[in-house]
Structure formats: structure tokens, C-alpha cells
Amino acid sequence: MADITTYVFPRTPTRGTWICLLLGLVLAPVTGSTQDDEEADAKDQRRPLVHLLKLHTVNTEGSMIDPGLSAYVERVVEDVEAADADALIFEIDTFGGRVDAATVIRDAIVDADVLTIAYINKRAISAGALISLACDRIVMVKGGTIGASTPVTGGGDKASDKYVSVMRAEMRATAERTGRDPEIAEAMVDERIIIPELSDEAGRPATLTSDQALQYGIADEMVQSLPELLAIYDLAGAEIVEIEINWAERTVRMLTHPVVTSILLSVAIFGLIAEVRTPGWGLGGSLALMALALFFGSHLIVHLAEWHELLLFAVGLGLMFAEVAFIPGFGIAGIAGFACMLASLLLTRLPEFHFWSIEQVSSIVGQFAVSMIIGIVGSVILLRALPKVGAFRDLILAGSTAGSEGYVSAPTDHDVELLGKEGVTVTELRPVGVGVFDGRRLDIIAEGEFIEEQTAVKVISARGARVVVQPA
């Protein structure tokens, strides 16, 4: 039988055992917290780190809150969180801008894992008020204003009730989340909401001065300068990192500007028309692709376009190509392709669906119509003028090759051979299609009426590439 070694523990713990247990219980929390305490002490000993982002659109470049700015703010919030900063300060002086862009900025701020402070240096009007309400703290300078957030159309008129309702909900939800009076937030949007002793004049959205904002709890503090703000929040002597927009973000903001997008669309339309009117692949097609790439690329970056809109445009382009290359005439495929491309471009220019309005849709359609007219007129003018320019004279056939001067598109013997030949249509002739004659496929044209496929036809006229047939 194998030997078994038995370890016998005392039934009653000795005095030394009790002492060890007690020491373990006492020292365990102390030991476990040592590392955390060291990290906290190190953080307390370093200078506070503050990132400063200036949202100045009054008399400065940009002039409004736009989708390009919203993409910039999203990037900044991510960088600030990664840097483990103590606070992110938005220095605001703006009359507002696009509501859809402001909502993107609002979402980025409320989800930020860092103290956010709206430093209203003069005014936070319209979309600026929504951005300010999203911050953890609002600090205003003496003589500042906040409010007047009623959405308006491009012409400056009040937007539809649907638009106003959405903005009211955004303002109320934001105020509730940051612990401010939701009724006052709604009154900034809808003039029908009257706040006693605050709305001096009925029919106007609420706009609060710095004193009123402090009195009604919209603002937390009123200061004279940024150093005073820092002192209030124990950030005196902080290392301030002033964030600047980079060249890529500046370029994207430029490309998504309404004027620039209209120019890009005009260039794309011009390039496509020029490409269709010239054989092979040339400058027009390349120019159109470049303009469309800049248009869709910039809009994808700022979330104005989605991949399904780009896919819709590609489907439309494919249908148009199939109509031109494989299907005679211009029918359902061509119309559907054009509709898909038009819908894609319009959807890209429009904001999110809940911000749609008749005024906004009509404005976008009008801008697109102007771009089309400019592109078409420009292509006609340039294609007529280019042959007269020395640099292009050798690239474009300017002379005439009229039949009256003896020019033919094919040998006359070939034309004579086709006369009177009988064949069968492969496609419908509406009026152009394809037929087979002695085993050869030819592009043919019906005389007078449409002809169904698999119909016997006879050539009645042949002159170069123009072969006219009638039912046999």
C-alpha cells in the first residue's frame, strides 16, 4: 500500500494566525489603493489642461455653422478625450447657421467624456444657443445674448411648423439633459411660448441678455475675461491648447459651401455633355469624374451624403450607359437612370428627413436647375468656341464633310449592295434598332412606324451608316 502523508491543521487558530489575518484585512485596502492614489496625486500635481475651440462666425471666415464645422468639432472632441484634458471650452460668437449641423455638434458635446464649457463671448444666437445649451456649463460676458433660435429658410422667412417643432424638441431635450429650464429653451424657438417677465413683446422668440440668463438659470456665471472663467472652475494657470482647423477640414468646408457645390455640379454636367459629344474618353469625362469625386467625397466626410446615395448615383449612371451603349433610342432605362442620378444629388444636398420642408426642397431643386442650365449653356458655348482657339484647333475637326461636296460615310458599293436586301429585326425599331442581313448585324432605322422584333424587313435606303428599312 502506498504511503499517504497527512497534514493536520490545528482545530483552534493560534494567536499568530489571528494576528496575520487581522493585518491582512487592514493592509489589503491600503495596498490595493496605493496605485490609484499615486495616479490621482500625479494628476493633481500637474498643470490643468484646457482645450479652447473658438466658434466665431461673426465677421470671420465661414460666416455660419455648417456641416464642415460639425465634422471639425467631432474630431476635436475625440482628440480632447484622448488627451485626458480637464475641460473643453467653446468660445462662441455666432448668429447661427444650419440646424442639422448644430444638432451634430450638440450630440458630440453631450456625449463628450470631459467637462464642456460654453464661453459666450458676445452672442449665441439660433444654432449657437443649441450648442451652448449642450455644454455642462454656460458662462457669458457682460452684455452677451443667447436665444432667438427660430429656424428660418434660406430667404430669411420662418421655416415650416414641422421644422419649428423639431427644433423645439431638440432645445427642450438638450435643456433637460443639462439641467436648465426647458420652457425657456422652447421659448427661444417658438414665439407662441410666453415666459412672464421675460418676453417683453409677444410674437418674438425669447432672447436673453447675460443678466437675464444668469437670473433664470440658463447661464451659470458671468465674467469679464477667460482668465476669470478659468479661476472660477479651478483651472487657473492651466495649459491652454487653442485648437485650429487644419487644411483638410478647411478644404472640406469650402467644397461643401452651397456656391462651390453648385459650381462642381455645373462642371460635372458640362464634362458629361462634352464627353458624349466627342468620341472616346477625353478631357470632358475626366473633368466630370473629378468634379463628382470632389462633390460626393466632401459630402461623405461631413455626413451630408451616405453610401446608399452614392450607390444610387452609380446605378443611375449605369442605366444611362446601358441606354446609350446597348439599347437603341432613349426609353425607360434612360429616364430611370436620369431620375436616380437626380435623386441622389438632391438627397445629398438635403438635410436629414425630419428637417425637410417644402421651402428647402424647392430651394435645392432651384439651385440644381441653375447648375444644369449653367452646365448646358457653358458646354454649348465652349464646344463652339474651342475650335477657334489655337491650342485646340488641331484637336477638333472644324471643317465640314457634307455630302454635297462628295463626302460619303462608307463606300458607295456597300450602299448599293444593301439596297433591296431582306433581313430580320433583332430588336424593336423605335425607330432605331438592330437587324441581321445575310448573317451580318447592322444598325437600322424604321421608316415611318415602329417595327417589332423578329419581323422581316427590306432595305429601301442605304447611305453610309444610315440604313432605312420597312416591313418586307
pLDDT at 263 over 80: yes
Q: How far apart are CA 77 and CA 89, in angstroms?
A: 11
As a whole number, mean pLDDT of residues 201-229 equals 88
pLDDT at 380 over 80: no
Range in 15-24, 245-254, 439-448 the model is least confident about = 15-24
Percent above pLDDT 70 for the chain: 73
Q: How far apart are CA 235 and CA 119, in angstroms?
A: 14
Question: Residue 193 has what pLDDT?
Answer: 83
The DSSP output letter for 73 is H
Q: Beta strand pairing status for 456-463 and 432-437?
A: unpaired
Residue 209 pairs in a beta bridge with 145
Q: Beta strand pairing status for 456-463 and 440-446?
A: unpaired
Residues in the chain: 472
Q: Are 36 and 42 in contact (CB under 8 A)?
A: no
Q: How far apart are CA 64 and CA 98, in angstroms?
A: 8
Q: How many CB atoms lie within 10 A of CB 284?
A: 20
As a whole number, mean pLDDT of residues 189-201 equals 74
Q: 90: Cβ–Cβ under 8 A, 6 or more apart, which residues?
A: 53, 54, 55, 109, 116, 117, 118, 119, 131, 132, 135
pLDDT band at 254 (very low <50, low <70, confident <90, very high): confident
Q: How far apart are CA 69 and CA 301, in angstroms?
A: 11
Question: Residue 141 has what pLDDT?
Answer: 95
Range in 196-200, 260-264, 286-290, 450-454 the model is least confident about = 196-200
Range in 21-25, 210-214, 446-450 the model is least confident about = 21-25
Question: Residue 134 has what pLDDT?
Answer: 95
For CA atoms 209, 215, 217, 222, the dihedral sign is: positive
Helix-helix angle 67-82:99-110, to 10 degrees? 10
pLDDT at 201 over 90: no
Question: Residue 30 has what pLDDT?
Answer: 44
Stated pTM of the model: 0.63
AA identity, residue 237 = G
3-state secondary structure of 311: helix
Q: How many CB atoms lie within 10 A of CB 383?
A: 16
pLDDT at 115 over 90: yes
What cell was used for 187? 421659448
As a whole number, mean pLDDT of residues 365-379 equals 76
Question: Residue 156 has what pLDDT?
Answer: 62
Alpha helices in 178-282 (DSSP H): 182-187, 210-215, 226-232, 247-255, 258-277
- Domains of the chain listed by start with CATH number: 46-245 (3.90.226.10), 250-393 (no CATH), 409-471 (2.40.50.140)
Most confident of 61-75, 406-420, 427-441: 427-441
pLDDT tens-digit readout, 332-362 = 777 787 788 888 877 777 666 555 566 666 7
Question: Residue 6 has what pLDDT?
Answer: 33
As a whole number, mean pLDDT of residues 454-464 equals 86
Burial of residue 400 (number of CB atoms within 10 Å: 0-12, 13-18, 19+): exposed
Most confident of 131-145, 190-204, 295-309, 414-428: 131-145
What cell was used for 6? 497527512
AA identity, residue 287 = L
Q: How far apart are CA 315 and CA 341, in angstroms?
A: 8
Question: Residue 136 has what pLDDT?
Answer: 95
Q: How far apart are CA 256 and CA 430, in angstroms?
A: 43
pLDDT at 207 over 50: yes
Q: What is the DSSP string of 16-36?
A: HHHHHHHHHHHHHHHHHHHHH
Q: What is the dihedral of CA 262, 267, 271, 272, to 10 degrees?
A: 0
pLDDT tens-digit readout, 76-111 = 999 999 999 999 999 999 988 888 888 889 999 999
Q: How many CA atoms lie within 13 A of 325 on its CB side?
A: 8
Question: Residue 88 has what pLDDT?
Answer: 95
What cell was used for 449? 412606324
Question: Residue 12 has what pLDDT?
Answer: 45
Q: How far apart are CA 376 and CA 151, in angstroms?
A: 35
Question: Residue 332 has what pLDDT?
Answer: 77
Q: How far apart are CA 121 and CA 244, in angstroms?
A: 18
Q: What is the DSSP string of 112-162?
A: -SSEEEEEEEEEEETHHHHHHHHSSEEEEETT-EEE----B-TTSPBPPHH
Average pLDDT, the chain: 77
